[in-house]
Amino acid sequence: MTDQHSPGKPPGDAQETGRERVSRAAYELFSREGLRAVGVDAVIARAGTAKMTLYRNFPSKDDLIIDFLRRREQLWTREWLETESRRRGETPQEQLLAIFDVFSEWFAQPDFEGCSFLTTMIEVNDPAHPVHQAAVGHLANIRAYISELAAAAGIADPDSFARKWHILMKGSIMAAHEGDTAAAARAREVGELLLKESGSG
């Protein structure tokens, strides 16, 4: 999402540097159109900067993509998903389930663009590629948050639980892409069963 009130929208700043303008432009374009469809020239045009400004700060497109993923984690994972799940739930169990309440609202947005980490990992599918590794790392950071909540909920194996929960999250995102408007609600129902099975429901 790229509009002012959507998750992942970086705030504007009239005094921002050339690096920041390039970073913001790349974020907006990559989020909306994907990696392959967006060339360096499109980023330069969107940023309104010289080509030299881009290459001085980001020597290659890969560097620009890795910066995009870092920005996505800060804006989407940290400032939106984690913040909202903590705000909406008082207990760790409620905070886990709140993830799907947040997803339900996200999926309903007309500019729902899906998970940039997943799409990046698919577009750059060489496991040894730095961009692929960066996407995998950011997905692992999401699991770390889930594992933290699982541990706080008293679940015996937080890592295993987090991997199961993350499958629900990723699956619901793909189902939403498929057109399932109730994907988040369905995932929440399965999540409730998983919590009960773990002895924490």
Q: Which tens digit of pLDDT belongs to each residue from 143-185?
A: 999 999 999 999 999 999 999 999 999 999 999 999 999 999 9
Length of the chain: 201
Of 112, 163, 120, 113, the C-alpha closest to 142 is 163
CATH number, span 61-197: 1.10.357.10
Average pLDDT in the 30-56 region?
Answer: 92
pLDDT of amino acid 199:
82
Q: Are 143 and 163 in contact (CB under 8 A)?
A: yes
pLDDT beyond 70 at 1 = no
pLDDT category of residue 52 using cuts at 50, 70 and 90: very high
**Residue 179: strand, helix, or coil:** coil
* pLDDT tens digit sequence for 118-142: 999 999 999 999 999 999 999 999 9
3-class SS letters over 30-86: HHHHCCCCCCHHHHHHHHCCCHHHHHHHCCCHHHHHHHHHHHHHHHHHHHHHHHHHH
Q: Are 102 and 165 in contact (CB under 8 A)?
A: no
pLDDT beyond 70 at 9 = no
Cα(172)–Cα(188) distance, rounded to whole angstroms? 9
pLDDT category of residue 15 using cuts at 50, 70 and 90: low
Instruction: Read off the pTM.
Output: 0.88
113-114-116-122 Cα dihedral, nearest 10 degrees: -110
Domain spans of the chain? 61-197
